[in-house]
Structure 1
């Protein structure tokens, strides 16, 4: 395969300018390590094509520590595209690259991207999964594996990034048994039929736009960063997350597509959390209620805030108005709170509880929040809870309100009534156009 790639690109070499030759000579004077570092920014096909630069480069690509295989490199432009031929070329290239040319066991980073969505579990995405299994299973046949101090079944890869690939339980079993150094796992637009993600080594986990079927457990004692963004989880399956070392959490899901809910076990190291609950679809009545009552501490499905009581920076988006229990958690370390598109027509209970239970809060932002449009309810608010809040965040320095209409007057009344309890607080009001995003 390497020789065929040389023939494919040799003609291009003859047409390069003298300045290009000078550049390649300058690069050739660098150490192997620096050249490999430069190669790590190239796609796999480009990396192989460097073999024509000079005799020094002929085999240098074969020991690259970072491999980024992307089907997009084999796509052609124009109305007469032959997608079947493009896939055949991509498949042939990848087969020969992984089986015959690259010492898989010595890779630090492996990226594999198949173009197009794989939500229908197509043949191409399953074929791509076979390459992953091959990488794990046969890496121990490469020379030098024992010199790396790994077990006889280890792949030393630290970063594994996959896109548009069908991944089943056998994938996670191979990862758990064969990737004993894995620190960074990123899955984008993948069809995931495995039920658990467990690892003793992961530091970073990203699930982006994945179609999960019965994902019930994420457990990793070393995990520092967790992102679940735009995913769906079928079969009404409750996802239990046990990641005690997490410092950064990003959870953004469509409620309707995550029916089983999420249960976070305690996260004592959490410093920053972004929680976005998209709920743009009208749900049947039987699905409303406790499954999505994230702020109610008696909820067993979405009891999120109790798990994040040590957080320093918290961003909540699209939270609905709801009754809140008296057991609202104390946020002793919270310094920055942002509520975006949250429903504050609940007698300001959610906002009030944060003001009462976040004694070290310094910065508060309310962006495009929703208020009651009922005149009678507004009257009750002004006479009731607005004056009776027991505000404890004496160090609040800035409250910024970003709004689109005059409903903000209720909030201004609230802030005015409690201004005596917030001697350091400055209030900033910003009105934006209705069409502003």
Structure 2
């Protein structure tokens, strides 16, 4: 069974808040058979602070697909042993204490968060994950390490800090290994000084086949200054990466961007 609820009424002085959705009025016989749920422009978890989160965890035992779009959210956790597809688009965390959204979904195969999402953290491994698409600042809570089973990974607007652990510069081995990754998209991301983010992905993704870099930032200084100040590591030949299956590299950049650093990264 699938349920889709959509509110198209715009906020106004008469109706400043979006209508609240609750499972309280739905019989157990209904929620126990619900496999797909889509909610658009509603308020979740306001009346009973944990009502929505509790219902997802205990009252929807076969829920597989959950899509939240343009919702006002007052919950901090989504936990489900059956959930396979989770999409969160343009939702707003209205409670000031909601600074991280925790996800507990061991069977999750697809994760998509876009439209200024809150930082997302996973409280369990996601070995079934096939595809993940996240927009800044969703990855600030160390989510990247939990995405290492993904086959397709798309990251939008991420900075170097979000993509690399604080200690990663000193301990490159801390960067997660993406053994199943075949397609990577970095869109408007900061790939770091000397393309260190890109280098980490290339080094730790032996099965990578397609790579797309779209309007990313390359923070390495000008070509002339780099030539004068190259270190010993910069003079050496480009690293031989494990991703020997790489078949396609897509590069999109602005006319005024200097992307010469990619020469050494590959």
After superposition, where does 1:26-425 map in structure 2 within 5 Å?
108=1, 110-117=3-10, 122=15, 165-167=19-21, 171-175=22-26, 177-178=28-29, 179-192=31-44, 193=46, 194-195=49-50, 196=53, 197-198=56-57, 199-213=60-74, 215-233=75-93, 234-237=95-98, 238-254=100-116, 258=118, 261-264=119-122, 265-277=124-136, 294=139, 302-322=141-161, 323-324=164-165, 325=168, 326=172, 327-372=174-219, 374-375=221-222, 378-379=226-227, 380=229, 384-385=233-234, 387=237, 389-415=239-265, 418=266
The runs of 4+ residues in structure 1 deviating greater than 3 Å are 108-114, 117-123, 172-178, 376-390
Pair 381,187 (structure 1): closer, same or farther in 2 beyond 3 Å: farther
SS at match of 2:193: coil
Pair 236,253 (structure 1): closer, same or farther in 2 beyond 3 Å: farther
Which of the pair has more CA radius of gyration?
1
SS at match of 1:274: strand
Separation in 1, partners of 2:9, 2:248: 45
Structure 1: stretches of 5+ with no match in the other structure: 1-107, 126-163, 279-291, 295-300, 419-437
Separation in 1, partners of 2:186, 2:13: 37
SS at match of 2:213: strand
Cα displacement (A) at 1:217: 1.3
Pair 207,377 (structure 1): closer, same or farther in 2 beyond 3 Å: farther
Summarize deviations over 1:283-339 as a string: whole Å, max 9, x none.
Answer: xxxxxxxxx7x4xxxxxx611111111111111110112354231111111000111
Q: TM-score, normalised by structure 1?
A: 0.50
Separation in 2, partners of 1:310, 1:217: 22
Q: 1:9 is matched with which residue? A: none
Separation in 2, partners of 1:119, 1:236: 25
Cα displacement (A) at 1:172: 3.5
Summarize deviations over 1:243-292 as a string: whole Å, max 9, x none.
Answer: 1111111011426xx3xx321132110101111116xxxxxxxxxxxxx7
Higher strand proportion: 2
Cα displacement (A) at 1:384: 3.9
Separation in 1, partners of 2:127, 2:13: 39
CA RMSD of aligned residues (A): 2.9
Separation in 2, partners of 1:180, 1:393: 45
Structure 2: stretches of 5+ with no match in the other structure: none
Pair 110,348 (structure 1): closer, same or farther in 2 beyond 3 Å: closer
Q: TM-score, normalised by structure 2?
A: 0.79
SS at match of 1:187: strand
Q: Which has the higher contact order (CA 8 A, sep 6+)?
A: 2
Separation in 2, partners of 1:275, 1:177: 33
Separation in 2, partners of 1:403, 1:174: 52
Aligned residues: 242
Cα displacement (A) at 1:177: 3.6
Higher helix proportion: 1
